[in-house]
Structure 1
Amino acid sequence: MEPPSAAARATAAPSFRSQTNAILRKNLIFQYSTLDQAPSCPIPNPPEWPALVQVPLPGYRAVQDSSSLFTGLPDASCRKTQSCPASVPFTGANRTLSNSIMHSLFTSSPLSNISDYKSISSLVLGTDVPGSSTGFVEPAFDSDRPIYVLQSQCKSNDSVTVPITIGPINAQKEIKCVQGLPLWRNSSATINKETFQGYWKGKTATGINEIAMAYDFQDSNEKHFNVLAMYNSTYQNVSYIPTPFGLLRIPRSLNAVSNAYLQLVQGSGVNMLLDFTKEMPKHASRLTFDFSAVVGPLFFEWVVVLLFPVMLTYLVYEKQHKLRTMMKMHGLGDGPYWIIYYMYFLVLSTVYLILFVVFGSVIGLDFFKINDYGIQFVFFFSFVNLQIVLAFLASSFFSKVNTAQAIAYLYIFGSGLIAGNLILNFIEGGKFPRHWITVLEIVPAFSLYRGLYELGQYAITASQTGNPGMRWSDLNDPTNGMRDVLIIIILEWLILLPIAYYFDHAASTGHKSSPLSVIKRLLKKDPTWRRITVNEIADKDIHIEMDKLDIIKERETVDQVLQQQTSGYAVICDDLKKVYHGKDGNPDKFAVQGVSLALPYGECLGILGPNGAGKSSFISMMIGFVKPTSGNAFVRGFSIQNDMEKIYNSMGVCPQNDMLWETLTGREHLQFYGRLKSLNGSSLDLAVEESLRSVNLLHGGAPDKQVKKYSGGMRRRLSVAISLIGDAKVVYMDEPSTGLDPASRKSLWSAVKQAKQDRAIILTTHSMEEAETLCDRLCIMVNGSLQCIGTPKELIARYGGYYVLTITTLPEFEQDVENLVLKLSPNARKVYNLSGTQKFELPKQEARIADVFTAMESFKKRVEVQAWGLADTTMEDVFVKVAKGAQSSEELS
């Protein structure tokens, strides 16, 4: 039979005389058993032991405190001498009868009358040992703690030693007297309040109450006995008890109060004998060891969620290394990306969990074998779907793989431990409201643990009783939480799926607006040519020099093209600006200041500029890495502010930093991006071979070598090949030849020249040779603004109307050299002077080459000239002149 409930009642009929002899002849035996006691050995005749009541530890028995809420309690000084009585509060409708019963409850016979443990069976015995599982023997008799006899009065140090033989126990047991102190209370509510307050006031590690036992005699009288026995039910679930139910020790308290009533109404010779208690006999069973019962749901939870960090790492890795953006720039939208990865993770997780269940079944774990496989499949499959969505959702908030991995592992291990403590204690404690347990299960780790816990409990019960494990019909059982778990998991999956998609989309595009505005942008169909008038650089006066005719002309071209519905221009930049707002008191950084450009098909535009000029910021805006602060740009008619998804389909990018998968080969990279450009079959193979050949990666095993084994130059060439594969109409190349040897650079230039025939290419570089070789037009950017634009010849003609004369002599002849140059060209300008080496700019209208050679021949006869040279203006000279002039103007302004 199961343990008694939280309140036990004893009733007696009015006709006691007719039943007296029967009561005297009857021995009451209280028995109960748990499933995990002695699982294999037969126990046909378990040992018997006297029934006990639970007595508080001497140091925690109820005493009077400063609140004076309860009367009759002893002074706290008794705790020091370990002599505090065991308080027994009581109440009832008939106070006189209740007092009489309680004064008959405890005897006053001396302990010296006790000779063996048989003679103590009729006494009110107690123990302060917690009521853990018995193991077929009352734990109080297998402890060094004494057995107490509750009496009305005790002499000081009143104790006796009695030989105890109970089953395997054969020892001398100390029997001590404890005074039982009956205390009248006005109601059961007062007793409950006193008991509850005493429990918390004690603050004991074992949860022992200060009150021994309590009674409510209710409407009892001489002809009707109705008593409510109250006790501390926390003993059945103390944390160190290995079984769900421990000993409550209620039978002796009921027996004692029943005898007190009988003796009051029938005389001292009438009583109800309670000789002993014992466990139920049991048959022998086969000894089994179920690993799943030992490790529990916590281990299985960790196994199931182990794929969560793996999936999160995949997603954050591609985000950290900009691979996700790279794929988007080559035409892979968010929808296909989600479908591909979702299906990949789903197949991976499903195979993983199928192998997990199969392995558990093969090695004989009842957790898997006994429970219905259909329930297991639905439970695991629904949870892995939720786990995939959680991985997508979590990836939106991380930018570093290491951080994501660390937090993911902390989450799975920490949440498992918390679930193991909270859910297990709340379910088995039986006191936590069920609906609050359901609320806790909203946390995915808690719902997983609850489902595994239910499967484990059914497996344990089935293996010990022979009953089948969990079946679909068992989901209707109100004590089975699996149905609630399945509902919660499926609902969470359906709710979090669109939320995760929105956050992922916003993170990948850089949008920080509301979901409604994102939906509007997604539903927008037709792009319109318009100028962005919103200027987020409020209160900032950005001065752009407009006195340069070439910049003015380019601005006019942009204005004219924007008024047309169709044009032959691939890229149009309309007053594009980017400001990085300063933090911690630092000023704002104006990376791009009002750039306006118009780039037709078939042209390669080179952007030159010193480090920090804004070239990479400009490219980053054009390819969707960052959002412009104001202004707009149109690529093939689509706005970079609103239509980047459409622009990506016809765009190729070679970023400044290589964005490649370490474990893929060069050929696999090109095949992947070629498929994104709608290439397949033989056309894809041909395009891949041609791309590898054009960047000199076709030989030496390079195509089939993993990228992590590539050198820096090989990675760069592969990035260029990726940007050119397919039919990308607009290509951005950010310093494409960085780190290349001369031969590879020449090969790369040939590939770019061939590719620009029907495309628009924007290229940034620090190599003047590369700029003059590849670019049809060049623009120089300094401090975020354009300084000039035109063909290389136009720029050299405009800014290079001079010869450069360089003369190296001993330092003491520097003045002589300067005098010579001024004779050749009165308006000559010294641009360089260091340790005898001087460089001058000679206007072409003043200096003739023949005169310079003649003068130098004559000068060499008078002065030792170590070296000299005369050169026409180069693009490098133009770049240095424009950059220095712009920086000087910026400093002056």
Structure 2
Amino acid sequence: MAAKKGKRPNTTFPLLTFEAIANVRYFAPAFVFISLSISQAITATQVAREREHGHRRSLQILGMKTSAYWTSTLLVLFVTCLVTSLSTIGFGLLFDITLIKETDFEILMITFSLYSLVSCGVAYLFGALIPTSRTAGLLSFVYILAFYLIGSMATYFFVDGVAVWLTTLLSCFPAVLLMRACSLLSDAATMSSLGVPGASITLDNVWDHTDIMPVGGTWKWMAGVFVGFVILATYIDTVAQSGKNYLLMRRKPRQHKTPPSTAAHDSVLEAQRQTQAAMELVAAEAHRTKGKHSDAQPEGAVPDGSSLPPVIVNRLSMEFMRFPSMKRFPAVDDVSFSVPNGAIFALLGPNGAGKTTTLNCIIGNYTPTHGSTLVLGKPIHEVRDRVGLVPQFDVVWDKLTAREHVQLFARIKGVAEDGVDALEAQILDDMALTHVTNALVGTFSGGMRRRLSIGLSLIGEPNVVFLDEPTTGVDPKNRRVVWEALKRYSKNKTLILTTHSMEEADTLGDIIAIVGAGKMQTVGPSLALKAEFGSGYAIRLSVEAGTDVNTLVTAFQAVCPRATLTDLYTDRDSGRISATIRLAREETELLPAVLDLLETRSGELGILDYFVTLDTLEDVFLRIADAVTRDVDGKCIFKQDASGNYTMSSKALLGKGVSDE
């Protein structure tokens, strides 16, 4: 029926029904929980990314103070919690949520801030446990959803008649505590809005407005759970530094067995002269390192003019235990070497040979199972400000420019303010990055980021620089630029680099150590290794199409009986033949006769062009790498080839001259 003229229609709304009150009761805690938990997923992703890329660890190695890191971290954590809490309250007022509108601001801020802190503690635990940032972010959202459901149901267990152990167990979960607090506050706010006297929760009654888990009780539990999560996350982060799915296994120092008598292997050693030479080289290096290590005084300062090598590694071993097999995996096995001042020491080996693990033990990322290392005569943690590092993964930030990176690292290394601009220009020029000085690193290619990392490692005039596969991802042109810069910087510094690039090791390495199966197989200058382990001279030929290769080989064997044909290739279009004739080491003195043959009979034999070379470092590396094999238990063993000859494994390579006598 229409309203009578002159009278206003009835616009009074009915009071909330019990169903509407129940809807508000469920909606408000869900809104608060989701709003406060989003920052947890973001923080967990950031922590996992930092650990995944090794940012904090690398900066600490370069001299960043732990106190500075945690001060900045706690400041960011405080601001994050404050902003999250205020934003939740602001949106609650905007959406006219009774829980927010009818509850004292102080109660809301304390509750929300405490839960935000606990969420950050959970995020740090996730970041310490989960190896990748993507997985950490995904699992954080799964955690939020799962514990919202658990918290929604668990809050009903805080009633009379429920076992104390169950309520205590539920109180260990932050989501349950928040949902309990929000449910109590929501009920009180709703009743207060309906005019029920004494229904609101204030600071006066926050500890005793109910007998079982009041809002004040949730505060106490949140604070305790936060402390527990932080302690657990810190412990896990300290123990598991690598970010790998390995459990570092600490063992008592191994008692090295006396090596077997070499007399039992006389026939083997005679058949494998090159392997014996490798054994002697490595044993001599280990013996020299041992002597110099015993002279070092870790607690004393080492003068600049001291003859003590800047880096000493003495009988270093590192073992892991891999799940679920629980087998011990020797990543590094009894490695010894020292590096003189002003030298570039290259650790050359295939993937998984133990190069990076050795480097991580030296720089302090791993605690060795056995052995010791000294840098500048002291443990690494005492000389971090005098060390440079290029880790396997670049320590750069996408939101900073190249200039800002140089300025940041200059301050970490203690460079004087008036010298930062000149240093910035020099570093970026040496790494061919002047044209992107003010560009965000997030826009850089992989090679540009790598060059920036190398430049940053040279800031502060470090005495020792460690480089883990420094030119990985760098194009050939800029690789040469980096090599030239490293050579210039190495004149008064010691550089230790790991690589699986033969060209890089040959170009940069003053001393090259070939690593395989966790052992140092041989060590020495490039030319010495080629001379010692090369098979001899190689003659590379370009031959006319249709030439009888057998006649060609016979002609060489008439002059050099042990000459062999090792490579043969026929061009499909022109028919020209490319061949390689190798001369045995024992017939090196016959090289002039071979050259005379090439000069006098090239036309007759159909030889169009030729050149003579020694074995490359790659040939040496492959020859030594083939001498190493590993059984299912990860132990090195002897290996017999198809001809019946024995190849000495890396277990035997250190079997002489390294034991304690």
- Per the TM superposition, whether the score is higher than 0.5 is yes
In the alignment, is residue 619 of structure 1 matched against residue 359 of structure 2?
yes
Q: Could you tell me whether the CA contact under 8 Å between 1:509 and 1:624 is conserved in 2?
A: no
Q: Could you tell me whether the CA contact under 8 Å between 2:241 and 2:365 is conserved in 1?
A: no
Query: By how many angstroms is 1:557 displaced?
Result: 1.2
Q: Could you tell me whether the CA contact under 8 Å between 1:804 and 1:842 is conserved in 2?
A: no
Give the Cα separation in 1 of the matches to 2:369 and 2:39: 40
Where 2:129 maps in the other structure, the secondary structure is coil
Q: 1:847 aligns with which of 590, 593, 597?
A: 590
Give the Cα separation in 2 of the matches to 1:420 and 1:741: 56
Q: Could you tell me whether the CA contact under 8 Å between 1:346 and 1:388 is conserved in 2?
A: no
Q: What do the CA deviations read for 1:129-167 (whole angstroms, capped 9, x no partner)?
A: xxxx9x8xxxxxxxxxxxxxxxxxxxxxxxxxxxxxxxx
Q: What do the CA deviations read for 1:459-484 (whole angstroms, capped 9, x no partner)?
A: 22222217584322222544271221
Q: Which has the higher contact order (CA 8 A, sep 6+)?
A: 2
Give the Cα separation in 2 of the matches to 1:542 and 1:722: 50
Report the residue type matching 1:860 in the other structure.
S
Paired residue for 1:144? none
Give the Cα separation in 1 of the matches to 2:168 and 2:518: 58
Paired residue for 1:33? none
Rate the CA distance shift 1:557–1:438 in 2: closer, same or farther, 3 A: closer
Give the Cα separation in 1 of the matches to 2:498 and 2:166: 61
Q: What do the CA deviations read for 1:329-359 (whole angstroms, capped 9, x no partner)?
A: 3234555433322321221220221233234
In the alignment, is residue 755 of structure 1 matched against residue 489 of structure 2?
yes
Paired residue for 2:397? 661
Paired residue for 1:804? 538
Q: Could you tell me whether the CA contact under 8 Å between 2:48 and 2:130 is conserved in 1?
A: yes
Q: Could you tell me whether the CA contact under 8 Å between 1:542 and 1:593 is conserved in 2?
A: no
Rate the CA distance shift 1:41–1:562 in 2: closer, same or farther, 3 A: closer
Q: 1:780 aligns with which of 491, 514, 526?
A: 514
Query: By how many angstroms is 1:665 displaced?
Result: 3.2
Rate the CA distance shift 1:400–1:827 in 2: closer, same or farther, 3 A: same
Report the residue type matching 1:534 in the other structure.
P
Query: By how many angstroms is 1:748 displaced?
Result: 0.9
Query: By how many angstroms is 1:294 displaced?
Result: 7.2
Aligned length: 590
Q: Could you tell me whether the CA contact under 8 Å between 1:688 and 1:725 is conserved in 2?
A: no
Query: By how many angstroms is 1:555 displaced?
Result: 1.7
Paired residues for 1:341-380 under 5 Å: 341-361=73-93, 364-380=96-112
Give the Cα separation in 2 of the matches to 1:370 and 1:847: 101
Paired residue for 1:508? 241
Give the Cα separation in 2 of the matches to 1:483 and 1:313: 31
Report the residue type matching 1:463 in the other structure.
S
Paired residues for 1:88-487 under 5 Å: 295-332=27-64, 335-361=67-93, 364-423=96-155, 425-426=156-157, 432=162, 437=167, 440-465=170-195, 469-475=200-206, 477-479=208-210, 481-487=214-220
Rate the CA distance shift 1:553–1:372 in 2: closer, same or farther, 3 A: same
Report the residue type matching 1:706 in the other structure.
L
Where 1:728 maps in the other structure, the secondary structure is coil
Report the residue type matching 2:253 in the other structure.
V
Q: Could you tell me whether the CA contact under 8 Å between 1:330 and 1:648 is conserved in 2?
A: yes
Query: By how many angstroms is 1:845 displaced?
Result: 5.2
Q: Could you tell me whether the CA contact under 8 Å between 1:608 and 1:779 is conserved in 2?
A: yes
**TM-score, normalising length from structure 1?**
0.59
Unaligned runs of 5+ in 1: 1-37, 43-132, 136-239, 245-290, 518-531
Paired residue for 2:412? 676
Paired residue for 2:454? 720
Give the Cα separation in 1 of the matches to 2:81 and 2:259: 54
Deviates more, 1:569-578 or 1:472-481: 472-481
Q: What do the CA deviations read for 1:567-600 (whole angstroms, capped 9, x no partner)?
A: 6222111122345667788997654343210112
Rate the CA distance shift 1:39–1:298 in 2: closer, same or farther, 3 A: farther
Q: 1:572 aligns with which of 294, 298, 312?
A: 312
Give the Cα separation in 1 of the matches to 2:372 and 2:486: 27
Rate the CA distance shift 1:399–1:333 in 2: closer, same or farther, 3 A: farther
Give the Cα separation in 1 of the matches to 2:477 and 2:207: 76
Report the residue type matching 1:459 in the other structure.
A
Identity of aligned residues (%): 24
Q: Could you tell me whether the CA contact under 8 Å between 2:29 and 2:182 is conserved in 1?
A: yes
Rate the CA distance shift 1:243–1:716 in 2: closer, same or farther, 3 A: closer
Report the residue type matching 1:570 in the other structure.
P
Give the Cα separation in 2 of the matches to 1:794 and 1:596: 19
Q: Could you tell me whether the CA contact under 8 Å between 1:333 and 1:645 is conserved in 2?
A: no
Q: What do the CA deviations read for 1:25-65 (whole angstroms, capped 9, x no partner)?
A: xxxxxxxxxxxxx99559xxxxxxxxxxxxxxxxxxxxxxx
Q: Could you tell me whether the CA contact under 8 Å between 1:635 and 1:647 is conserved in 2?
A: yes
Paired residue for 1:697? 433
Paired residue for 2:225? 492
Query: By how many angstroms is 1:774 displaced?
Result: 2.5
Rate the CA distance shift 1:415–1:742 in 2: closer, same or farther, 3 A: closer
Query: By how many angstroms is 1:729 displaced?
Result: 2.7
Give the Cα separation in 2 of the matches to 1:678 and 1:616: 28
Rate the CA distance shift 1:241–1:847 in 2: closer, same or farther, 3 A: same
Q: What do the CA deviations read for 1:688-727 (whole angstroms, capped 9, x no partner)?
A: 332211110111xx23333332223212212212322234
Give the Cα separation in 1 of the matches to 2:89 and 2:588: 90
**TM-score, normalising length from structure 2?**
0.77
Q: Could you tell me whether the CA contact under 8 Å between 2:398 and 2:440 is conserved in 1?
A: yes
Report the residue type matching 1:761 in the other structure.
L
Where 1:820 maps in the other structure, the secondary structure is helix
Report the residue type matching 2:405 in the other structure.
H
Where 2:312 maps in the other structure, the secondary structure is strand
Deviates more, 1:862-871 or 1:656-665: 656-665
Q: 1:688 aligns with which of 424, 438, 442?
A: 424
Query: By how many angstroms is 1:546 displaced?
Result: 7.5
